[in-house]
Structure 1
Amino acid sequence: MSDFRTKKKSSVEEARVEHIESYGETEAKTIVASHELTTDTSTDRKAEAQLRWKIDLYVIPTVALLYALCFIDRVNIGNARLAGFERELGLKGYDYNLVLSVFYIAYIIFEIPSNMACKWIGPGWFLPGISVVFGILTICFAFVRDLKTACGIRFLLGVFESGLLPGIAYYLSRWYPRNELAFRLSLYIVMGPLSGAFSGLLASGILRLDHFGSTRGWQMIFSIEGIITVGCSLIAFFTLTDRPETARWLSQDEKDLALARIKRERVAATEVLDGFDRMKIIRGIANPVTLSTACILLLINITVQGISFFTPTVVRTIYPLNTVISQQLYSVPPFIVGAVFTLFFCGIAWRFDRRNVVMLVGAVITGIGYAMFLGSSSTATSLRYGATFVGAAGSFAFGALCNAQVSANVNSDTARSSAIGFNVMLGNIGGLIATWSYLPFDGPNYRIGNGLNLAAAGIIVVIAVLLEIWMNRDNQRRELVDAEQVLSGHNLQEAQDLEWKHPEFRWRL
């Protein structure tokens, strides 16, 4: 990595002159120093590839495990339902849907504040900390005895789980540039469908036990899985590195390269981790791509969370004569297919540095799956079971793709944290809707739930096409803008606060 710090004088001199004209001598020095660093990194592709591989090995496993545990602790209530949870608590009518809904109410309320707290505290402490708490709450859920207590604990579970998915997405944006981010996000998002599959396998294994301590039946699912979460989260305090500068496993040259990889994408940026800035927070949320992508995530989350919570219920209507353990096992394969296609779609997005068109294709596949279910009769068991595979294949990648798209189309670290938080917050409104999409009276055809998912997929197709057209046209318009004229009279801070309105900013498709 000896070539890393070698200067490219002509390029640096051009940057110096350009920024003196725009910002003045003092502020230009800071930008030029960044320009030197970001220019040098492009000369050593081998060093960058080695660094990327090293980050993958040290960062991804811990966050993937935390998200897997989070997802299991969220959806295991679907497995518990098959094991008698509703019957023992005396739940009737829509009580089960209510228990699911309060989780998402908390999730939505605390999404943006949690991501702001993640930036303030630091992901290295924040992410393991909230994981320990929601693990403890999962254990507590094993001892609920009535609807009110169940709703209370699920609400608290939503409070503490709300920070994990957007927090990890924000955390990974500290390590990876935009073209690499979608696939790395998929490496933890894929733990959602894998955990959904594993949750069914784990529940079927746990239910074979006579008891675990003082817990029996469905209670064992929560107590055992909660203990596993707490144990792994405590270990994460020691394995999760907050940011490149504090990574003991990186050399100084590697730390500089890691920072330069991020900085070179950020228009007018002089630092990777900026302080809180109200204007940047607002611009991160009021970004047209953030708003559009968040709507897409809202719509697809109706499907994703519906699959997560109700697949065991749907499988029970397809194979009503099977044993509970058999029904649990039948709920596993659709999640595995969803996991495979998550990696496939995000790998394509990484290869071509395109996310919007991949979401368009995923929405079409999802719509086909629900059209299959709606067009079949209750006796067409193989077709209906196959439809659950198609729906899962098209939908699970959106969590990674949407967060990557939002992250790619903001500039500063502060804007990124607010944009990702807003994206996931709006997305989880879809999760709230999903809790009421599969209602008891609507089985076994579930025309309301499946029709809603089909309609959502269709709307996503429309949004994705319109967004693709608008981003291309706006980039063409920006090419005709005189950046020097627009920036005249702006100091460095004012130029940074422009965010996506900066004349040199370009939308990333």
Structure 2
Amino acid sequence: MTAPSGVVASDASARSHEDVEALDKPSPDYDGEKGIQSAAEIGYTATDSHGTPLVEFDRVDERKLRTKIDLMVVPTVSLLYLFCFIDRANIGNARLAGLETDLGLHGDDYNQLLSIFYISYILFEIPCNLLCKKMGPGWFLPMSSLGFGICSIGTAFVHDLPAASGVRFLLGIFEAGMMPGISYYLSRWYRRSELAFRLSLFIVMAPLAGAFGGLLASAILMLPGFGILHTWRMIFAIEGIITVGLSLISFLTLTDRPETAHWLSQEEKDLAIARVKSERVAQTSVLDKLNWKKIQLGFWNPVIQVNAFIFLLNNITVQGLAFFTPTIVSTIYPNYSTIQKQLYTVPPYIVGAVFEVIFPLLSWRFDRRQILIILTAPLTMMGYIMFLASDEPRVRYAATFFTAISCFAVGPLANAQASAQVVSDSSRSMSLATNMMYGNVGGLIATWSYLSWDGPDYPIGNGLNLAASSLILVLSTLLLLWMQWDNRRREKRDVELELQGKSQSEIESLEWKHPGWRWKP
């Protein structure tokens, strides 16, 4: 019998009967030569008890499928996230255009306004991602985008701090599920090694939002006002209208999962499912029902917890740059016009965006994430040392490039790690939400890192970021060493003996406690 298109016969597929039966006999008539079709079907496992794939995929067919997915899935979520971040961070541009004066903000009122967003953002992170799994990303992501677009428009009509705080709180609710939701959505389509690069293609919209947002804000400020909409109010209104338009289009363009993709043939759907399933030890389906035991193990996962804390530290810098780069540039070049200051915020973001793609591209090439996270930390440390050590404007402006080069790259790498260190879909929805929840605690800290009375040099804010990046270097190195040690310890376990007597559902629920599981550094 000849193997079908997309599969190459291998030793793993030849021994598939024995290995599948060891995992509680998914089906008595499992045929290894059917390869992809069997691996994709619900009820069949696609790995042996040690996590080895039972089929080997044809690289040409995989590349064709991956390219098609790249073109049909990534652009939509990237655009949604671009305006998600713009609608969050445009308050920094609005500040330069007179928001504080018009709303009567004084002292630390601006920091309070930033903080209220993160309170709802953190509280709703996990519930939103579980809702995303329950509803399906094809509906959840467009609905969330529509919600925060409306909130952005609403910000254009506020007249005092309480009203602005209320809208920002709602904005945090609607944006809470976007980054973990998109990351979870892409994990339905891509292999572990491929995911970091694809995550970078939408997360790169964060620094691009800083660059594009600065350009867009500069252009909007040149427009004549309309009724009560003028200066900073126009920024929120126009950018919110664009977001609403994109969200309505995404209801039609966002495909929920491979099974519902009308632009894939049945063979391509089987290949898409089998590819992902082949990396999920003992799982009989890619998209399982919500399972609370798996969800708990997705949260109480030692690698996820440390990785999430690293992301928290990193987000102190990322969100600090998003909210305060216009302010920092203003202190470096105080005599420049508002539009010139807006334009000076653009180049660091562009450079950061380039490296945010380069690091995950290396991750795809070598299927490694942890070592790359380690390598970003020294560059961030260098940037903040320059801030603290020099009063020279050109040196301090150059420091913004060093911080942007390194810190933005951690986002896709950390989220790819959160996806790679769990097994099931239920656990993955929780691990990604946990990673983002911790990360947004870092964002909340960032809103208080640059205080008005600490300017114009901001030694406290810069010192905090230097400490955070230094701690990232230490923790990420220790985590890599621990994963390598624990994998060596797991090699000594008797997999078959430990699984003996367990049902298939019990085996699937073991998650990272499965004896055949290995951490993926």
Common fold by TM > 0.5 = yes
1:156 corresponds to 2:170: yes
Instruction: Give the match for residue 65 of structure 2.
Output: 51
Q: Distance in 1 between matches of 2:28 and 2:305?
A: 33
Instruction: Give the match for residue 518 of structure 2.
Output: 506
Which range moved further: 97-106 or 37-46?
A: 37-46
Which range moved further: 30-39 or 460-469?
A: 30-39
Instruction: Give the match for residue 446 of structure 2.
Output: 434
| Paired residue type of 2:94 | A
| Paired residue type of 1:20 | E
Report sequence identity in percent: 57
SS across alignment from 1:396: helix
Instruction: Give the match for residue 486 of structure 1.
Output: 498
* Residues 33-182 of structure 1: pairs in structure 2 closer than 5 A: 33-34=38-39, 42-182=56-196
Judged with a 3 Å threshold, the aligned counterparts in structure 2 of structure 1 residues 412 and 445 are, in CA distance, closer, same or farther, namely same
Q: Distance in 2 between matches of 1:13 and 1:40?
A: 8
Q: Is the 8 A contact 2:450 2:458 kept in 1?
A: yes
Q: Distance in 2 between matches of 1:313 and 1:10?
A: 61
Judged with a 3 Å threshold, the aligned counterparts in structure 2 of structure 1 residues 21 and 141 are, in CA distance, closer, same or farther, namely closer
Shift of 1:497: 0.7
Judged with a 3 Å threshold, the aligned counterparts in structure 2 of structure 1 residues 5 and 444 are, in CA distance, closer, same or farther, namely closer
| Paired residue type of 1:55 | I
Q: Distance in 2 between matches of 1:471 and 1:100?
A: 37
1:497 corresponds to 2:509: yes
Which range moved further: 320-329 or 38-47?
A: 38-47
Shift of 1:195: 0.8
183, 191, 195: which is aligned to 2:197?
183
Shift of 1:423: 0.5
Q: Is the 8 A contact 1:342 1:393 kept in 2?
A: yes
Q: Distance in 2 between matches of 1:230 and 1:106?
A: 21
Q: Distance in 2 between matches of 1:31 and 1:110?
A: 45
Judged with a 3 Å threshold, the aligned counterparts in structure 2 of structure 1 residues 359 and 11 are, in CA distance, closer, same or farther, namely closer
| Paired residue type of 1:267 | V
| Paired residue type of 1:17 | E
469, 476, 486: which is aligned to 1:474?
486
Q: Is the 8 A contact 1:118 1:167 kept in 2?
A: yes
1:256 corresponds to 2:257: no
Provide Cα deviations, 1:214-251, integer angstroms capped at 9, x if missing partner: 40111000000000000011001111100000000000
| Paired residue type of 1:432 | L
Instruction: Give the match for residue 349 of structure 1.
Output: 363
Judged with a 3 Å threshold, the aligned counterparts in structure 2 of structure 1 residues 482 and 370 are, in CA distance, closer, same or farther, namely same
| Paired residue type of 1:58 | M
Q: Distance in 1 between matches of 2:6 and 2:349?
A: 47
Shift of 1:124: 0.6
Shift of 1:10: 6.3
Provide Cα deviations, 1:17-50, integer angstroms capped at 9, x if missing partner: 2343452x45676797437967686242101000
Shift of 1:2: 7.7
Q: Distance in 2 between matches of 1:336 and 1:460?
A: 24
In structure 2, runs of 5+ residues without a counterpart are 33-37, 48-52
SS across alignment from 1:276: coil
1:450 corresponds to 2:462: yes
Provide Cα deviations, 1:455-492, integer angstroms capped at 9, x if missing partner: 00010001111011010111111111100111112111
Q: Distance in 1 between matches of 2:327 and 2:205?
A: 21
Instruction: Give the match for residue 247 of structure 2.
Output: 233
SS across alignment from 1:506: coil
Q: Distance in 2 between matches of 1:165 and 1:22?
A: 35
332, 353, 376: which is aligned to 1:362?
376
Q: Distance in 1 between matches of 2:388 and 2:28?
A: 61
Q: Distance in 1 between matches of 2:393 and 2:11?
A: 69
Q: Is the 8 A contact 1:3 1:44 kept in 2?
A: no
TM-score (norm 1): 0.96
Q: Is the 8 A contact 1:31 1:270 kept in 2?
A: no
| Paired residue type of 1:99 | L
Q: Distance in 1 between matches of 2:490 and 2:17?
A: 23
SS across alignment from 1:138: helix
1:218 corresponds to 2:219: no
| Paired residue type of 2:81 | Y
| Paired residue type of 1:504 | G
Shift of 1:410: 0.4
TM-score (norm 2): 0.94
Q: Is the 8 A contact 2:325 2:345 kept in 1?
A: yes
Judged with a 3 Å threshold, the aligned counterparts in structure 2 of structure 1 residues 42 and 151 are, in CA distance, closer, same or farther, namely same
| Paired residue type of 1:61 | P
Instruction: Give the match for residue 15 of structure 2.
Output: 14
Q: Distance in 2 between matches of 1:422 and 1:392?
A: 24
| Paired residue type of 1:220 | M
